[in-house]
Amino acid sequence: MALDIPFNDLSRGLAGIRGDIDGAIDRVISSGWFVLGPEHDALEHEIARYVGTSYAVNVGNGTDALELALSALGVTAGSVVFTVANAGAYASTAALLLGAEPVFVDVDPSSHLMSGASLEAAFAACEQLPAAVVVTHLYGALAPMPELMQVARKHGVPVLEDCAQSLGARWGDTMGGSFGDIATTSFYPTKNLGALGDGGAVFTDSSELATRVRQMRQYGWESKYSIEHAHGRNSRLDEIQAAILRTKLPFLDEKNDRRRQIHQQYEDAVPPGLRMVNTSNSAFTAHLAVVECSEPDSARRALKARGISTDVHYPIPDHQQKIPGFNPRQMPLAVTENLATRIFTLPLFPELTEDEVLYVCESLRTL
Ligand SMILES: Cc1ncc(COP(=O)(O)O)c(C=O)c1O
């Protein structure tokens, strides 16, 4: 019997914790404190402890987190920011908002992530030293941080880790987000730790960087009504979202385990000719189940015919986006360009039923 499998269904994720969520919202409403209050501060402490950094600074969304973190690192108009071109253009958007120039680093053909070798090649190919390197832990898989840090340190350039897809991924006891100089995440509802609206956070061990972000997120205030910092704006996480995130954070590891379990079943089912880009292990949160193959469009059509929704992350590399006024610097991006034509994404969310997962597996075997 054919099943209808959605790409995602956020309502299912709430069903089991609806009472706790309602309680959290009610707690905030009764408190009469709606912005930068106790829930917000408690979340900053709890999530910093989870990631293993000294500080977390909540902000309005993941793109603001990237922009403010880059600004705190000293990125400004005319700076170059190294980033990958296969990760949805979020880091590029943040760099462009600062008047900086995103310059693209190619990715490893197996992991689809920035590697020490590809970063070193970018340093060799670009005449201008970047002010920062953004490493995206794409699809939820940790990029090789020790080698990336080594290359960046050699050139004296700070590193930002984008953990929007990878919150909870770790090597041993070391959590992604605690390797670089600063890190960011998004609490967009589809993320592994998602709010019921927008949200984001910045992580760092540096009190100086944390203070800069904290000031910029609230108008650039040094103290109330006294503006002493550039790039100030309003980018705050509200109390209701903070309370909801505090309710969900204790379940993140369990949810990530379930995601990895489903991903493992897909790994076991894909036929020769198709390859799951990642493998299930603790350094991968299974945020997205990305398949690589020579004919992704025909695979997607066949799955659609069986009622299975799929997507592509991401169809247009950043340097091929038609952003007015942005003429990307020529960089070697052969791997990135090739991979963009070879990928599609299977449905993967923790609340998929076992029957649904088995149906996706059975359908994969027919490809
Ligand atoms: C890797 C990555 N970085 C940044 C963002 C931006 O986050 P937001 O949508 O909260 O601005 C997203 C997703 O939306 C993302 O997947």
From 59, 61, 63, the mutation candidate for ligand 1 (largest count of ligand atoms within 8 A of CB) is 63
Distance CA 51, CA 142 (A): 13
What tokens appear for 203 in the block? Answer: 């992580």
Question: 251-365 maps to which CATH number?
Answer: 3.90.1150.10
In CATH, the architecture of 11-250 is 3-Layer(aba) Sandwich (3.40)
* Residue whose CA lies nearest to ligand 1 atom number 8: 62
Measured CA distances, 7 to 10, 142, 312, 356 (Å) = 10, 23, 11, 12
Q: How many CA atoms lie within 13 A of 139 on its CB side?
A: 31
192: Cβ below 6 Å to ligand 1? no
Residues of the chain with CATH 3.90.1150.10: 251-365
Contacts of 276 (CB under 8 A, 6+ apart): 263, 266, 267, 270, 289, 290, 291, 292
Residues of the chain with CATH 3.40.640.10: 11-250
What tokens appear for 298 in the block? Answer: 């025909």
186: region left, alpha or beta (phi > 0 left; psi from -120 to 50 alpha) = beta
Asked if 68 and 231 touch (Cβ cutoff 8 Å), the reply is yes
What tokens appear for 211 in the block? Answer: 């203070």
- Compute CA 25 distance to the chain's CA centroid, rounded to the nearest angstrom: 26
From 186, 236, 245, 287, the mutation candidate for ligand 1 (largest count of ligand atoms within 8 A of CB) is 186
From 58, 86, 90, the mutation candidate for ligand 1 (largest count of ligand atoms within 8 A of CB) is 90
Measured CA distances, 305 to 4, 5, 309, 364 (Å) = 10, 11, 9, 12
Which residue in this structure is represented by tokens 């707690």?
Answer: 27
pTM of the model: 0.98
Tell me the residue type at 23: G
Distance CA 146, CA 180 (A): 9
- Compute CA 85 distance to the chain's CA centroid, rounded to the nearest angstrom: 14
Q: What is the pLDDT along the chain (367 residues), one digit of tens a residue?
A: 789 999 999 999 999 899 999 999 999 999 999 999 999 999 999 999 999 999 999 999 999 999 999 999 999 999 999 999 999 999 999 999 999 999 999 999 999 999 999 999 999 999 999 999 999 999 999 999 999 999 999 999 999 999 999 999 999 999 999 999 999 999 999 999 999 999 999 999 999 999 999 999 999 999 999 998 888 999 999 999 999 999 999 999 999 999 999 999 999 999 999 999 999 999 999 999 999 999 999 999 999 999 999 999 999 999 999 999 999 999 999 999 999 999 999 999 999 999 999 999 999 999 9
Atom of ligand 1 nearest to the CA of 61: 10
Longest Cα–Cα distance in the chain:
65
How far does residue 62's CA lie from ligand 1's centre (Å)?
A: 5
What tokens appear for 345 in the block? Answer: 């994404």
Indicate the helix (H) or strand (E) that contains 39: helix 38-51
Distance CA 319, CA 344 (A): 20
CA-wise closest residue to 247 among 184, 178, 183, 196: 196
61: Cβ below 6 Å to ligand 1? yes
DSSP state of 130: P
The angle, 0 to 180 degrees and rounded to 10, between the axes of the packed helices 38-51 and 239-248 is: 40
Cβ atoms < 10 Å from Cβ of 105: 28
